[in-house]
Structure 1
Amino acid sequence: MSKLLLGAVAGSALLLSAPVFAADLNEPIPAAPYVAPVSTAFDWTGAYVGADVGYSWANKAASRNKDHDAVIGGVFAGYNYQIQNNIVVGGEGEIAYGGADPLATWTGAVRGRAGYAFDNILVYGTVGGLVGQGEMKNDGRNNTRTHVGYQVGAGVEAALTNNITARAEYLYTGTNDRDYGSAGGEGDLSGNAVKLGVAYKF
């Protein structure tokens, strides 16, 4: 008799708890919290400073009939802004020096840059204005002249780390002719240059 009573009590308990279990099974499972994906692409936005070195080959200093080819070097600084994921625009200023017989030059240029970024590789074009000072020497005579003109070119820049970039760049410079008088006749600062540079991005 007691066994029958215990069985009835257990059966009643199971019947009463079944709706509770069913209700638990029907409740929606809480969704996992959303975690935004973290981009691993390099961000080109920011200021930078750097230095470069290269080689220029140029037009002849007219009355001397000599090329003023030279090793050149300079320092530069600028700012890039990355828009629409891959488009990079910015501006850059550079001071450079190149010296070789018969013409040594100082130049200062301000150029705009625009390019396309493939993650940490940037392919870009550049164009801007330039002011330069040429110094021509001949038989003890030494005259300096100021030139104005433009620069246009293209380059490839690679981000080696989050802060260090390296670049290879070609530039064409076009300036006005100036008469250097007894030091050697007419001359200009026009010509081509290829340069390698390294920059620190802030």
Structure 2
Amino acid sequence: MTRAVATAFLVVLAGGPSLAADLAVTAPAPVYQEVYVEEEELPWDGPYLGLRGGYDWTQVRGTISGASGSSSWSNGIAGPIVGAFAGYNFQFDNNLVAGAEVDGDYTFDMSQYVAGGVSRNHGINWGGSLRGRIGYSLGNALIYGTAGAAVANFYLGTGSKRPHEVIYGYTVGAGVDYAFTENIFARLEYRYTGYPSADFSRYFGKGNTADQETSSNTVTAGLGVKF
């Protein structure tokens, strides 16, 4: 009896490795499933405001006429610009974003020109616009175009005097907003602004008439907050 038990035990031990090998071969391989996590797109809808700064290039063209004849001038003005903007966006299911925006700027530019034999200072010291915007959302980036009405304060004088004239025009441009978080975004924008012919006759003396056209190209970068 003892011999039979011992013999059976030895048989089990001898067959153990073979059985383990069979189990290792027939055990199913683990299955790995790829999990796709969609990146969350940050919303653009709602109110926002921000600060911006950049550089402005302005071109001035004018004509003065009087009893002694007529003369014209053309001059470039350039300088840094700082300002603020605020607006509201509406975002649609097809990734279109539309809204309205208002901005105001102060421009540090001045130049001198000669008209009618007199040297004069001129430049734009403040301006603003009310515009519509329409864009397309690419997740964290919003590419947009913009257009609307513009206003500026153009000063024109002799020596240290600065009589000024408020001029009105239009502005068009394009830009991109990039959201770092749900509330913070950066902006890069280009705009062209045109101010059609404005009457500056009162600054050139009685009996003289003067017209001036003004246009500007502006590049700005900004930082904004969404609410």
The answer to whether the superposition gives a TM-score over 0.5 is yes
Select the residue among 134, 142, 164 that pairs with 2:154. 134
My pick for the range that moved more, 137-146 or 67-76, is 137-146
For 1:43, the equivalent position in structure 2 comes to 43
How far the C-alpha of 1:64 sits from its partner, in A, is: 5.4
Look up the match of 1:172: 192
State the SS of the aligned residue for 1:177.
strand
Structure 1 residues 153 and 130: CA distance shift in structure 2, 3 A = same
Is 1:67 aligned with 2:67? Answer: no
Provide the C-alpha distance between the structure 2 equivalents of 1:40 and 1:174, rounded to a whole number of angstroms: 40
User: 1:10 maps to which residue?
Assistant: none
Count of residue pairs brought into register by the alignment: 165
Superposed counterparts of 1:94-173, under 5 Å: 94-101=103-110, 102-173=122-193
Residue in structure 1 matched with residue 217 of structure 2 by the alignment: 192
Structure 1 pair 87–125 and aligned structure 2 pair: CA distance change class (3 A): same
**Could you tell me whether the CA contact under 8 Å between 1:132 and 1:147 is conserved in 2?**
yes
If the length of structure 1 is used for normalisation, what is the TM-score?
A: 0.74
**Is the CA contact (8 Å cut-off) linking 2:174 and 2:190 kept in structure 1?**
yes
SS at match of 1:142: coil
* Cα shift at 1:177: 2.8
Give the Cα separation in 1 of the matches to 2:167 and 2:48: 28
In structure 2, the CA distance between the partners of 1:198 and 1:99, relative to structure 1 (3 Å rule), is same
Seq. identity, %: 37
**Partner Cα distance (2:50, 2:213) in 1:** 27
Q: Deviations over 1:22-52 (max 9, x none)?
A: xxxxxxxxxxxxxxx9971111111001010
Query: Structure 1: which 5+ residue stretches go unaligned?
Result: 1-36
How big is each residue's C-alpha offset from its partner over 1:95-151, in whole Å with a ceiling of 9 and x where there is no partner?
Answer: 111131231332121100001110010000000111221112332332201111111
Q: Alpha-carbon deviations, 1:135-186, whole Å to 9, x = none?
A: 1233233220111111100001100111110010000001123344249x65
Cα distance in 1, alignment partners of residues 212 and 98 from structure 2: 34
Corresponding letter in the other structure for 1:173: T
Q: Which residue of 2 aligns with 1:11?
A: none
Hey, what's the Cα distance between the residues in 1 that align with 2:60 and 2:124? 13
Describe the shift of the 1:133–1:188 C-alpha distance in structure 2 as closer, same or farther (beyond 3 A): farther
On the 8 A contact 2:124/2:152 being kept in 1, the answer is no
Backbone CA RMSD of aligned residues: 2.1
3-state SS of 2:100 partner: strand
Please give the secondary structure, in 1, of the residue aligned with 2:108.
Answer: strand
1:201 and 2:226 equivalent?
yes
Deviates more, 1:81-90 or 1:112-121: 81-90
Q: TM-score, normalised by structure 2?
A: 0.67
CA distance in 2: counterparts of 1:64 and 1:186, whole angstroms: 10
- SS of aligned partner of 2:181: coil
